[in-house]
Amino acid sequence: MKNLIILGAGTAGTIMASHLRKKLAKSDWTITMVDRATHHDYQPGYLFMPFGIYSADDVRRPMKRTVPHGIDFRETDVDRIDAEANRVLLPDGTALPYDVLIIATGVHPAPDQVEGMVNGDWRKNVHEFYTFEGAQALAGRLKSWQGGKLVVHICEMPIKCPVAPLEFCFLADAWLQKQGLRDKTEIIYVTPMSGAFTKPVASGILGKLLDEKRISVVHDFAIARVDAEKKAIVSWDEKEVSYDLLVTVPPNMGAEMIERSGLGDELNYVPTDKHTLQSKAHPNIFVIGDATDCPTSKAGSVAHFEAEVLTENILHFIAGEPLRSRFDGHANCFIESGHGKAFLLDFNYDQEPVTGTFPLPAVGPMKLLGESRLNHLGKMAFKWIYWNVLLPGLPIPFIGHQMSRLGKNIPPQDLKTAA
Amino acid sequence: MPTKNLAGTPVDTNDEGYLVNRSQWNKDVAAALAAEEGITLTDGHWKVLDFIDADFKEKGAVPGMRRMNKVGNIPTKDLYALFPDGPIKKAAKISGYPKPVSCV
């Protein structure tokens, strides 16, 4: 009997468990999945909780409903990975030996990495919406909002779902209008980047949208500390932005267990081959989702596309074959722009997001980098797809792990260089 | 592609002034690039430039702020004091490496 262990039962880990249980005979392989969480959260739903669009029940399910059949699930923390001895050590001293290990431990917001962020005002006037507790606390705070300075802020890149802070601005703008509080609220978007987004074409279009919605932007702002007394964020070059309500995205760190195991970089991300998803240090350790250091978005869509590649490569690895399947960095993100509309981005390592139609040329039906109601419906339908199609590892029609150039308005000069 | 003369050496740069061919870089070129930014290089600056050089050769990328702190043992405060307004971009330029790509 051989052992395959998956660390982390989030989006990436659960999809891998679904795929591999179908591919690996139960008579030959035990698949163990380890996670300390008692619930599985639909993380894209956190964004909607502060505005009362989603409730706790929309985003949270007990783990026993999402762990696939035939998986040995262990609800526990992990002490560390002993990669030299091919085993995972649990806090109670148990050692779990493995033949193949998949690290899917994700990233988490680490507000303690910024001086003064976790102060007396934390979860009162200083909030984040990347955790269930954070999104819930922020929903409570918004209920008593009477107007003032709302600062939406990114500490440092990379972050999980890099479009979410923009979406938060757009949704806040729409929500405030509905409450009759928009004219009493100044919304300021503060980012360490030089523009609204990481990629040039999208950055231009989204920047314009911020402008239209009267959201001012402070760019190139590298936060040094939160000054709770002054209610201001202060940059390393002593610029200050004051707030009445700060909604920040803290630094996104990989699991501390990765650091204890000596397997991570300075952010506890695991150095990973960006095409094969094999860890660079150990051939029988593979990495997927937010836990990798791959230069693409930390997003559920990426985990989903990676899972198809990684499943094939693990089968190759077990068979002693070269790892033939290659991940291209494909990411697909809806951007809620408020008032029941949304944008859609589709891109990979080499192709930045551009305008066009998706998933089919001309027909669409969805618009790339353009605002539409259908894009919004796509985003809202995705919750159902997530629970019922994505986690069980079922295919989504027309959308493959390799990004398609069809339907994309790619500038001619870029087409020439494209492989 | 602009070519310019720095410290008596002709160098090729891109539109933003970053060297496109690192083999054209030397310490005098670095001093000239620094002067363009209004910076006079000291030992403190060289500690940063040497770390970027070593790290680029190992990793193939200009290190980010957190890597400078943790692996290079250079505090962010020092980086802002040495290279005001965007220390990573400026230090990358002076060390002859490309502008760091913003993370996704």
Report yes or no on B37 lying in a domain: yes
Peptide bond between residue A365 and the one before it cis (omega within 30 degrees of 0): yes
Within-domain flag for B100: no
Q: Of these residues, B16, B60, B77, B103, which one is catalytic? A: B103
Domain boundaries, chain A: 2-106+255-318, 110-250, 331-417
Q: Do A1 and A92 meet the contact criterion of CB atoms below 8 Å apart?
A: no
Structural domain tally of chain B?
1
Give the contacts of A388 (CB within 8 A, at least 6 positions apart).
Answer: A394
Domain that holds residue B35: 3-94
| One-character DSSP codes across A60-114 | EEEHHHHSPTT-EEEES---EEEGGGTEEE-TTS-EEE-SEEEE---EEE-GGGS
Residue B78 has pLDDT above 60, yes or no: yes
Closest CB from A194, A198, A265 relative to B103: A198
Active site residue B75: no
Q: Which residue of B has its CA nearest to A267?
A: B66
User: Residue A329's closest chain B neighbor by CA?
Assistant: B104
Residue B99 lies in a domain: no
3-state secondary structure of A46: helix
pLDDT of residue A415: 65
A287/B101: higher pLDDT = A287
**Cβ pair A236:B76 closer than 8 A:** yes
Residue B19 falls inside a structural domain:
yes
Answer whether A111's CB lies under 8 Å from A72's CB.
no
Beta carbons of B103 and A237 less than 8 Å apart: no
Distance between CA atoms of residues A379 and A373, nearest Å: 10
Share of chain B above pLDDT 90, in %: 72
B60/A contact by beta carbon, under 8 A: no
Residue A321 CB contacts under 8 Å (≥ 6 apart), including other chains? none
> Residue A157: which of B79, B86, B103 has the nearest Cβ?
B103
Do residues A306 and A288 lie in contact, with contact meaning Cβ atoms separated by under 8 Å? yes
In angstroms, rounded to a whole number, what is the distance separating the alpha carbons of residues A18 and A66?
10
Domain covering A2-106+255-318: architecture = 3-Layer(bba) Sandwich (3.50)
B103: in domain: no
pLDDT value of position B100: 83
Q: SS3 of A279, please?
A: strand
CB pairs under 8 A between A and B: 43
Residue B82 lies in a domain: yes
In chain A (419 residues long), the average pLDDT of successive 10-residue segments reads: 98 98 98 98 97 96 97 98 98 98 98 93 96 98 98 95 95 97 98 86 90 94 94 94 98 97 96 98 98 95 96 98 96 93 92 90 87 90 93 87 90 61
Topology at the third CATH level for domain A110-250: FAD/NAD(P)-binding domain (3.50.50)
Structural domain contains residue B77: yes
Strands A39-41 vs A60-62: parallel, antiparallel or unpaired: antiparallel
Q: What is the pLDDT of residue B102?
A: 59
Interface test with B, best of A265, A293, A328, A345 (most B CBs within 10 A): A265
Residue B26 has pLDDT above 50, yes or no: yes
- Rounded to whole angstroms, the Cα distance separating A19 from A14 reads 9
- What pLDDT is stored for residue A413 in this prediction? 72
Structure-token pair, residue A245: 């309500």
A267 vs B66: CB contact, 8 Å cut-off?
yes
In this predicted structure, the answer to whether residue B104 has a pLDDT above a threshold of 60 is no
ipTM of model? 0.79
Q: Which amino acid is at A169?
A: C
Contact A99, A5 (CB under 8 A): no
Q: Does B16 map to a domain? A: yes
Which residues from chain A sit within 8 angstroms of residue B65, using beta carbons? 156, 222
Residue B95's SS3 state is: coil
Q: Give the pLDDT score at A51.
A: 97
CB atoms A156 and B66 under 8 Å? yes
